Structure 1
């Protein structure tokens, strides 16, 4: 009887310790449902586990490291290289970090690997034939633009009015003046239902909205201060 009692005490102690450990973990991390380990990019598109050693000897800055370390941020290998090389504008990095506070996003391109037209290499100007924007400065070329193709695991195409995709626009609109992107373009229904205007950074030219049915373009027109005023 004494041996059985000792075993029962040990079993109860072990169960109690397991419950206490679970409570501590939930307090630190939130509920199980709050811990989303789903990759930000679809399988075969974005990076896997990012190697912090890839930044050794490079001056990409702490904000780049924080963005790349976030489990809510995903990007193609080309986009990751742009970040590691310091090509991407710091304001854009800050805007993306703001988005990842609430959503998982996958960036397909900054500069490397971006094309307006198939087979036409990107340059300082948007090529003729890309709607009515031909000849305008190419913000991708200068590292001042990002194309977000997936939000919380869902493609932007076909999900323009999805709540999570809509919230991306709301978060962008909420970034304070002076730091907010001034070149925001997305699917026609997304732009229409959000209802923001040019003063908030939205580009509403019908031809550009049609060309952005499958992704959200987030950019800064100028190298320093942005154009939006409110």
Structure 2
């Protein structure tokens, strides 16, 4: 039986509810412009762990049960009650979901050393969805607490790999976890990257913010985001780390690990995937992305135009976000 996210008991203080929301407590929230790449890199504060909400697939999602399965594993591994830290405890939590200890051991920054932890999934986006395999990219914020009660903000993005079983009625199996590895902060950043990190209309999850701080994201990406932020409020899901190295299901290198791409899952507060989101809003954003320099704009709609070789594309994977790729 598939364990949906709404049915989990979230050890880090989850409350019941619908799709992901900001934690109810503001005691230790991560700024909208992004947090730390891991749960140990932000300044600690003496506070309670914030309440969080389970992430639930909303209307319009492609194969929502696949996303629910991936999110269930991330939420279960990344949150635990006081005294529940450690790798053995993580393996036990994974086993309760039917996930192997070997997969739990791949959680890396999702399971830092801490006495207790709370985790908030920001969104679950496809990195790829095929008939029998999938990649679900899950940016999340995480708060860890030590035995003295000190809370530290952080977060990561996890590329969750899944495989379908021979029985179509059986849940998809989580086969691998690939957490983001943004790398250390650069000694100096370009002016445009500094502006992106400070821009309140660009919401970066922790790993994406760390990607920019690492100096490994091309200025073309930053320039485009700033241009788009002049018109739209943007919620980014993935930039460089935490994304498949190759375009899923192919041997063709993705622009993301090269620091030449960015994915956006929400525009002006409207999830790209939601049926209620105006089509004109998404199409306008896709065309604005092309005008801002993206040679490869993917999304839920196939648009015309874009020169001799159409720079717009759509497929099942890009039903839930707008992808922008850059040549330099």
Q: Same fold by TM-score, threshold 0.5 exceeded?
A: yes
Tell me the secondary structure at the aligned position of residue 192 of structure 2.
helix
Find the counterpart in structure 2 of residue 191 from structure 1: 302
**How far is the alpha carbon of 1:71 from its aligned partner?**
1.4
How far does the alpha carbon of each residue in 1:33-59 deviate from its partner, in whole angstroms, 9 at most, with x for none?
xxxxxxxx9626x9525599x999731
Tell me the secondary structure at the aligned position of residue 142 of structure 1.
coil
**How far is the alpha carbon of 1:104 from its aligned partner?**
0.4
> Where do 5+ consecutive residues of structure 2 fail to align?
1-19, 24-28, 36-41, 43-183
Indicate how the Cα distance of structure 1 residues 56 and 144 shifts in structure 2: closer, same or farther if over 3 A, else same: closer
**How far is the alpha carbon of 1:182 from its aligned partner?**
0.8
1:2-151 to 2 correspondence within 5 Å? 43=22, 47-48=30-31, 50=33, 58-114=187-243, 122-123=244-245, 125-127=246-248, 129=249, 134-151=250-267
Indicate how the Cα distance of structure 1 residues 150 and 47 shifts in structure 2: closer, same or farther if over 3 A, else same: farther
Tell me the secondary structure at the aligned position of residue 191 of structure 1.
coil
How far does the alpha carbon of each residue in 1:116-143 deviate from its partner, in whole angstroms, 9 at most, with x for none?
xxxxxx33x334x3xxxx1112111101
Q: Are the aligned partners of 1:42 and 1:153 in contact in 2 as well (CA < 8 Å)?
A: no
Q: Are the aligned partners of 1:47 and 1:74 in contact in 2 as well (CA < 8 Å)?
A: no
> Where do 5+ consecutive residues of structure 1 fail to align?
1-40, 115-121, 225-230
Alpha-carbon distance between aligned partners in 2 of 1:173 and 1:50, rounded to the nearest angstrom: 24
Alpha-carbon distance between aligned partners in 2 of 1:137 and 1:56, rounded to the nearest angstrom: 25
Q: Are the aligned partners of 1:103 and 1:164 in contact in 2 as well (CA < 8 Å)?
A: no
Find the counterpart in structure 2 of residue 6 from structure 1: none
Alpha-carbon distance between aligned partners in 1 of 2:34 and 2:323, rounded to the nearest angstrom: 27
User: TM-score, with normalisation over the residues of structure 1?
Assistant: 0.59
Q: Over aligned residues, Cα RMSD in angstroms? A: 3.0
Tell me the secondary structure at the aligned position of residue 169 of structure 1.
helix
Q: Are the aligned partners of 1:184 and 1:217 in contact in 2 as well (CA < 8 Å)?
A: yes
**How far is the alpha carbon of 1:203 from its aligned partner?**
3.8
How far does the alpha carbon of each residue in 1:155-195 deviate from its partner, in whole angstroms, 9 at most, with x for none?
000256433322212322333xxxx11111000xx334xx2
**How far is the alpha carbon of 1:70 from its aligned partner?**
1.3
Find the counterpart in structure 2 of residue 219 from structure 1: 325
Q: Which has the higher helix share?
A: 1
Tell me the secondary structure at the aligned position of residue 108 of structure 1.
strand
Alpha-carbon distance between aligned partners in 2 of 1:140 and 1:60, rounded to the nearest angstrom: 19
Q: Are the aligned partners of 1:173 and 1:200 in contact in 2 as well (CA < 8 Å)?
A: no
Q: Are the aligned partners of 1:146 and 1:218 in contact in 2 as well (CA < 8 Å)?
A: yes
Q: Which has the higher strand share?
A: 2
Alpha-carbon distance between aligned partners in 1 of 2:33 and 2:287, rounded to the nearest angstrom: 29
